[in-house]
Every structure is written in C-alpha cells, then in structure tokens.
Chains A and B, each alone.
Chain A
C-alpha cells in the first residue's frame, strides 16, 4: 500500500556488528549488513527469513535497544535514538512485542500491575474512567479472562504471556507496533482473533506494523509488503501477494517450498530440503 505520504518509519543502510574491537568492530559478527526498509502509516511490512539472519537485530534497533554501527532509523523524519533518550511521545509511539514473551515480563508482577505501570509512564494514554474496567476490556480483546488480571506473569501459559505483552504494547495506543514472533505461541483460533484486532486498529488508529514472523501463512494474511532476509541483508522485497506467490529470489523459493499447508500431501519426498539452513 503505497500511500505516497512520507514514511512513518525509515531505516537506512543499517549495519550492526556484535562483539569485535574498535570503531570498525574488527573480528565481530556482522549480524546486519546494510538493511534499508520503510513503513508507511497504516501499512504492515512483513519481515521473514532465515533463522539468525538479523530480523530481531533490526527490530531492536528500531526499538532503540541497540545502537547500530552505521545507518539511521527515523520516525516521521526524526531520528529515533536510544530508547531511554526518546521524548515520551516517541517512546509511546513505537512499541515492541518481543520474541520471548516470558523474558520480557517480570514473572513476579501481576498482569494488572504490568498494565498499570505503562499507564503510569504514559498518563495521556491512561483510561479516563474506571481503570479496572478498561483493563478487563483490554484483556477481553486479547481473548483473556478477567481473572488473568490478578495472576502473576510467571504463572501464565506461554500464549497467555504473549497476549499480555501484546496488551501492554497496545495499552499506550502506539502508532508503530514492532511484532517479533508476536502470535506464534497462540492457538490458531486465538491467533485469528488477534490478527483481526490488529487489522481493525490499523483502520481505526492508523496503526503501522513491522511484523516479523516465520509463519508465512500469517504474513500472507496481514502484510501489505514483505521483505525477506538472509545473512544480514534483504534479498527480496515487494508486495505480499507477489513475493509469496511468485518469488524471484531462490531463498524465498526455498522458504515457500519448505512451508506446509494443512492439506498438502503426506511428507516424505518432494517436500523441501532444508539445504539453506547452514
């Protein structure tokens, strides 16, 4: 969906190296090697690709948790900078749902206090009336029972944790949501419910998303455009239908060949070989 407007998120020539010494990070591991991408308002960009190809690293740069070796990350033309140094309205505008939901929530905190905390940090987003009621509405939208509010994050199932992280991110009404495997721990019925909610927020609040996922079916449902990463670079990018039905890069083809559909014939042979894994 090219709106012709200025992009909301713009990532230019991003380089990230882990470890190594000196300004050039000699001897380090180049996790991201020149990635550029952009997301327009109301647009969802799917980011798929090889395991270890740098998708989470790109997301962490957007969230301001990691400083790139080179390159820029801007939001409506303003540099995003480190998470702790962002002005509150930028901090709020860009929210992230992390790949390991359990490790991004304090296991001892109750779900109610997790949400109360973000409303305290961003008072403009706090509900006007009864907060408990607002909290229950938020949980219900995630397919969570109100009794989850009083439970500690550490006592939740994997998918419940994941929905609490999504709820926490949406509680402050972000304009850009960075989702790193955000719906992968959910049964497909709840997953469909959350995907519908995200689609609705996009229409209602012009929510834009950078949506990282290994599930090509989910990406096919939600993304307007898709970028495919491999070994630190984007190897293919385009409109979702085009990339996922007529891939041009051999790696994208390998991914699609390996992906299963529910009614594909029995495995054994012919189903793809994971030669691209190494």
Chain B
C-alpha cells in the first residue's frame, strides 16, 4: 500500500485542492469507525471523534497505544481496514468525503491528502525499488522518465537521504529503518499534498535527522500551506511543532486545544499522566509510575468515562455518565467531569 494507493483516476485533473474557503481545511465530525470483531461482533475503535485541522496548521494526535489514532488517519485517507464501517462526516474544504464517490476518493488520495504510514516496511512494496515507488504519482502524470527520475532524486535529497541517485535503486530491505522512513516520507510528498497524515513519521530517526525532517515539513508548510495531522507518541515533538493537539483514549477524545498549553497544563487526568511519563533527556529520571488498573480496549470499554478505572479523580458520576467534550477554559476542551480539578490545570 503506497500513499498513492489504489487506482489511477484523474478526474480531478489539476490534482489540487478546491479553491480556498474560510474555515478549516479538514473538519472531522462525529467520526465512528467500526471493525468486525470476533464471533460476528462489531468493535467501535473510533467512537464519535470531532476536531478540525486548520489551513497550514500542524495538529498533533497523541494518546494511548490502540486508542484509534491510526484508524482515524486511515479513515481520513479513505483506506480503512477491510470490513470497516465509517459514519460521521469528513469535511474536506466543506465537501463530505464519506459521501464522495470512490473515484473522487481515489483522486483525493495521494494528491490532496497523503499519508506517511506508521510501519515503513509494511507500507513499502518489498519487490520494487524505492525509486519506482516514490515515482508512482509523478509517473501517473505521464512525465517523461528522465523527469520522473530527476524528481525522485530531488525528493530523496530533500528528505536527507545521502547518495539519492544510488539509494533510489535500493529495495526496501536494503535500507536502514531511518532510510526507509525517509523513503516513505518522500513518497508521501511526491504528489504535493495539501494535507499530510503523518503517522509516527520521525520515531525511527536519530534526533538530528528528525529535526531536519521537521524543518523540511515546516518549510513546505510555509511555502505551500501544507497542513499536517501528526500522529506521534513523542510529546516533545508535538509540543514543539504542533499548534494544536488532540488526545485520545479508548477510541474517544479526552482533550484538545493549543498544543503547548495542553501539554503544560493538562485539563484531563489522562493527559496529565502522559505528560508525567515523558523521560527527560538531560537528567536521569526513573520510569514513571504506571497507571493503576488495566488499559481500556475498544472491545471492552468501561461504561461512563472510559478512563475511570485508572483515574485518580474518579468518583460515582464518572462510572455512570460518559463525559462530553466541553470548553473548560477559552479554547480548552476536555472530556472530564472534573477537569477543573486536574492538578496543575
């Protein structure tokens, strides 16, 4: 599965987003993703998620492992796992992608919206040289071969792959983890997307390459207005490059707002636990105390607030009534009945 994915439809000839309108470039409204579970059941892995990606902004998406971050991004891309059902609205410049025709979806994918997949090795075709895979979208534009190659070399060079002309001939298994990651980033950028869904784009990279990639993405954003949904476990990166952050737990949003503000003064006990757990680089710290109790899974979501079995602030109301996302301070949104009591908030 490449970012350019399936199909070769070119209905949307220019391959460029619709003309600018006010409002966010992407608005996710009440997104629900259900997957087939064991014994004919359905599991709701994303449960009523809503947030905006403003034009040219970077929105961090953080949260528990298994909380539905990748599923949310794949829903936006239009490539959810087989058997998934999606409801809600995905408003792309105001156009609902969930209601769009498959041809329109394919036209958007890889060009207007591209994705950097979490597992680069799984995202690459093992039997094809990486140059060929990166050149897929340019080739679809029927550019002459030399031109496609020139573009591939340029892309690899921009993402910091040394000796790009030699590396473009490598097969995925011949690259180190970090080189593969950069190949996948080059592939996503090949179609000049307006929105990049970046799923853990820098985890396999050493920090110097990481800062170089983040700077490159910031440059593209300044020049072309690229918006980004940055899925990451690295709160340090999110706090440094994200304007906004969305925090997920067990398929739901627990908190969202301005990134640095949220990560400085969380308004949800789960965010507070995450912030506490970030290891310091320059001093030796002990690994944080684990949260009590077992993590929630979408198949096994506690009633009321999904976080209540692990929450230090939980009380009767939490076990009975699922909290709604509400504005607890100007532009600060939290799904906690007692957000005002979160220490440090």
Decide yes or no whether B133 CB sits under 8 A from chain A: no
Number of A-B pairs whose CB atoms are under 8 Å? 214
Contact B66 A188 (CB under 8 A): no
Contact B178 A199 (CB under 8 A): no
| Known contacts A160-B65, A185-B233, A272-B208; A147/B278 CB under 8 A | no
Contact B122 A102 (CB under 8 A): yes
Contact A189 B203 (CB under 8 A): no
Decide yes or no whether A119 CB sits under 8 A from chain B: no
Please pick, from B70, B174, B287, B290, the residue contacting A18 in the complex, using a CB distance under 8 A.
Answer: B174
Contact A277 B66 (CB under 8 A): no
Residues of B within 8 A of A275 (CB): 208
Residues of B within 8 A of A220 (CB): 279-285
Q: Mark B64-78, 1 if CB is under 8 A from A, else 0.
A: 111000100000000
Cα of A158 to Cα of B231 in the assembled complex, Å? 12
Residues of A within 8 A of B281 (CB): 216-217, 220, 244, 256, 259-261
| Known contacts A52-B176, A145-B295, A189-B290; A245/B282 CB under 8 A | yes
Contact B65 A100 (CB under 8 A): no
B162 to chain A, nearest CB (A): 5
Decide yes or no whether B179 CB sits under 8 A from chain A: yes
Contact B290 A147 (CB under 8 A): no
B275 to chain A, nearest CB (A): 7
Contact B278 A262 (CB under 8 A): yes
Q: Mark A182-205, 1 if CB is under 8 A from B, else 0.
A: 001111111111011001000000
Decide yes or no whether B211 CB sits under 8 A from chain A: yes
| Known contacts A221-B286, A261-B281, A271-B211; A188/B300 CB under 8 A | no
Cα of A51 to Cα of B38 in the assembled complex, Å? 40
Decide yes or no whether A218 CB sits under 8 A from chain B: yes
Stretch with Cβ within 8 A of A (4 or more), from B22-30, B99-107, B186-194, B234-242: B234-242
Residues on B close to A: CB < 8 A?
35, 38, 62-66, 70, 81, 118-122, 160, 162, 174-179, 200, 203-212, 215, 233, 235-237, 239-241, 260, 263-264, 273-275, 277-291, 294-295, 297, 299-300
A sample of 21 cross-chain residue pairs with beta-carbon separation below 8 angstroms, ordered by A number, consists of A52-B175, A52-B176, A100-B119, A100-B120, A143-B294, A147-B299, A156-B66, A188-B235, A188-B279, A189-B277, A189-B288, A214-B206, A216-B207, A221-B287, A255-B207, A260-B237, A261-B281, A262-B280, A274-B209, A277-B162, A278-B162
